Structure 1
Amino acid sequence: MRATERIVHEERARLDFSKEMSYSDYLRLDQLLDAQRPLSPDHNELLFIIQHQTSELWMKLLLHELQAAIGCVANNELDSAFKMLARVRQILRQLVDAWNVLATLTPPEYSAIRPYLSSSSGFQSWQYRCVEFLLGNKNAAMLKPHAHHAGRLLDVELTYRQPSLYDETLLLLERRGFAIPSEHTQRDWTEPHVASPAVEQAWLEVYRSPERHWDLYQLAEALVDVEEAFRLWRFRHVSTVERVIGFKRGTGGTSGVSYLRKMLDVVLFPELWTLRTVM
């Protein structure tokens, strides 16, 4: 067989996937692309559904990376944690940019869809709740939106009861010999972290001698990167909601924009921000 004929034969062989796994098989595209079921006759509902479904997929990866990063910090594997936290930051950037697409939805277009949403709301996203809990924003009341689904409630409760990323970081500081008060290392992990002058002092030691504590210094900056990206995600959420629905109440019963604006005031790793004023 001549070379050109052999190449053509090989290319034809690669076009037949009847006996091996194809791209569509691997990604389960039939199931994935069949998951968009608009309830309204409005053209724009497909955008609304895909926006939220893709965000949930990114959050699935976000949780995967966050959980792994927490485990690495707990096991003193900081190089691996840095890689995972860098990925977390990029995922959050992806989620921020996604709001640009939803923001093309105008108030009349959303109004045509809204009656079909019933009480469904992003406020009920169990994955988002897990992200918040892993980042330290613990609030027992936020378990209630998931009480109707026992399996999902269990997932959320597990993250609610485990040490957050910042909790594990403070435990690491204690292992490294820093004077972290016991109320931050031996406490009820379901409570949010409360800012502490002693914790700030520990971080100041790290920042004043970064060459001595280089990996801790890197970890601190990685945490700031993550919180900054998370703040941008929240801000872009507020801005998009206000642009599309104004100050109407949310479909899930929240006050809408007013509730989201309150969330902008939540600080996850407070001492890493206040030390900048002290230095």
Structure 2
Amino acid sequence: MPIPSAAERRREERAARTGGEPELEIAGTTPYARYGAIDTLLDLQRPRTDEPSETSFIIATQVMELLFTLLAGHWERARDAMEDDDVPAALAELRRGAHVQDVLVSSWDLLADLSPTEFSRFRDALGDASGFQSHTYRRLEFLLGNTSEPMLRPHKGSPRARAELERAMSEPGLYDAALRLLARRGLPVPGEALERDRTRPYAEHDGVRAAWARVYADDTPGNDLFTLAEALLDTAERVTRWRQRHLAAVKRSMGAKPGTGGSNGLRWLADNAAQDVFPELWSLRTEL
């Protein structure tokens, strides 16, 4: 039986002293507030107008940024597990990441009923700020294979953000790691897909689709590569759901107006939502 830690013994002594009731006499800031930096967190909502829905917009943005960071950690650990030939660990991280993605998709509910009149009352306060400029979101896109050297340009004035993105672009993404794993298992993954130019987005390849088709030829529970393929598709589908919710939220709140970051707004988002993540896992379904 494990020996209780000093902290565990203190908790047991406190519970005995209070009769199981919460401790109410606390000196200074509560441990909860200190641990979660709650005072700092709650000081980060700084609306620039008197429009109440601006606070919802800011909080939704901040929640998404935190979830982007959490999701990147799961995807990076999944990638590293595939690089180590540890499929069960990769599956566990993709599963946890899928839960985060579900919350991300649902986070659009915070802005689901933002009307164009409400948005127009604080939109000018955004200036040129746009979610397109989020380096944490861009890091996710790079992990998905949507690497692009021009996408580093918005962050040239932020050395930390640029360094993170340069590292993400230079390292294998989720799909890169999966294809390398297939190749190590003896599947005929084309060399140009394994050694692609990571300054450019991943491009669909017939040879990669053929390799995945061989994986799908055995859909028995013991085929861990088939299970991995389906887990990757779960991830890809949730990416599309998030993009579609983004598109719908923008369409509802501002219609086809130009985006604050200089894009053409709806058309940019629609084009992005139409791009399949891990494309061969989608296209091979027509052949099966």
Taking the aligned partners of 1:138 and 1:268, their CA distance within structure 2 comes to 12
Tell me how large the CA RMSD over aligned residues is: 1.9
Aligned to 1:3: none
Match among 97, 107, 112 for residue 103 of structure 1 = 112
Verify: 1:70 aligned to 2:71, yes or no: no
| Cα 1:14–1:138 shift into 2, 3 Å | same
Verify: 1:255 aligned to 2:264, yes or no: yes
Taking the aligned partners of 1:270 and 1:242, their CA distance within structure 2 comes to 26
Match among 174, 178, 182 for residue 169 of structure 1 = 178
Verify: 1:233 aligned to 2:231, yes or no: no
Segment drifting more, 151-160 vs 11-20? 11-20
Question: For residues 99-123 of structure 1, what are the alpha-carbon distances to aligned partners after superposition, in whole Å with 9 as ceiling and x for unaligned?
Answer: 1220221111110101111111111
Verify: 1:208 aligned to 2:217, yes or no: yes
1:165 partner letter: L
1:50 partner letter: I
Taking the aligned partners of 1:234 and 1:25, their CA distance within structure 2 comes to 35
CA contact under 8 A between 1:162 and 1:190: conserved in structure 2? no
CA contact under 8 A between 1:44 and 1:105: conserved in structure 2? yes
DSSP-derived class of the 1:159 partner: helix
Unaligned runs of 5+ in 2: 1-14
Aligned to 1:17: 26
Aligned to 2:70: 61
Displacement of 1:18:
2.3
CA contact under 8 A between 1:95 and 1:233: conserved in structure 2? yes
| Cα 1:243–1:176 shift into 2, 3 Å | same
DSSP-derived class of the 1:83 partner: helix
Displacement of 1:17:
3.0
Taking the aligned partners of 1:213 and 1:44, their CA distance within structure 2 comes to 51
Segment drifting more, 17-26 vs 34-43? 17-26
Question: For residues 7-60 of structure 1, what are the alpha-carbon distances to aligned partners after superposition, in whole Å with 9 as ceiling and x for unaligned?
Answer: 674457822232896211111101001111111122221111101001101111
Aligned length: 274
CA contact under 8 A between 2:221 and 2:227: conserved in structure 1? no
Taking the aligned partners of 1:12 and 1:278, their CA distance within structure 2 comes to 62
Taking the aligned partners of 2:98 and 2:31, their CA distance within structure 1 comes to 32
Verify: 1:270 aligned to 2:270, yes or no: no
Match among 120, 128, 133 for residue 119 of structure 1 = 128
Taking the aligned partners of 2:282 and 2:224, their CA distance within structure 1 comes to 18
Verify: 1:188 aligned to 2:194, yes or no: no
CA contact under 8 A between 1:206 and 1:213: conserved in structure 2? no
| Cα 1:103–1:12 shift into 2, 3 Å | closer
Displacement of 1:255:
0.8
Verify: 1:156 aligned to 2:203, yes or no: no
Aligned to 2:227: 218
Taking the aligned partners of 1:150 and 1:80, their CA distance within structure 2 comes to 33
2:127 partner letter: S
Deviant stretches of 4+, over 6 Å:
none
Taking the aligned partners of 1:186 and 1:274, their CA distance within structure 2 comes to 22
Question: For residues 46-96 of structure 1, what are the alpha-carbon distances to aligned partners after superposition, in whole Å with 9 as ceiling and x for unaligned?
Answer: 111101001101111011111111111111111111111112112111111
The TM-score with structure 2 as length reference comes to 0.90
Taking the aligned partners of 2:144 and 2:22, their CA distance within structure 1 comes to 50
| Cα 1:109–1:20 shift into 2, 3 Å | closer
CA contact under 8 A between 1:73 and 1:169: conserved in structure 2? yes
Question: For residues 172-229 of structure 1, what are the alpha-carbon distances to aligned partners after superposition, in whole Å with 9 as ceiling and x for unaligned?
Answer: 0010011111112233333322222221111111111233861100110001000100
DSSP-derived class of the 2:145 partner: coil
Segment drifting more, 212-221 vs 103-112? 212-221
Verify: 1:84 aligned to 2:93, yes or no: yes
2:185 partner letter: R
Taking the aligned partners of 2:22 and 2:246, their CA distance within structure 1 comes to 48
CA contact under 8 A between 2:147 and 2:169: conserved in structure 1? yes
Taking the aligned partners of 1:140 and 1:278, their CA distance within structure 2 comes to 34
Verify: 1:129 aligned to 2:157, yes or no: no
Aligned to 2:36: 27
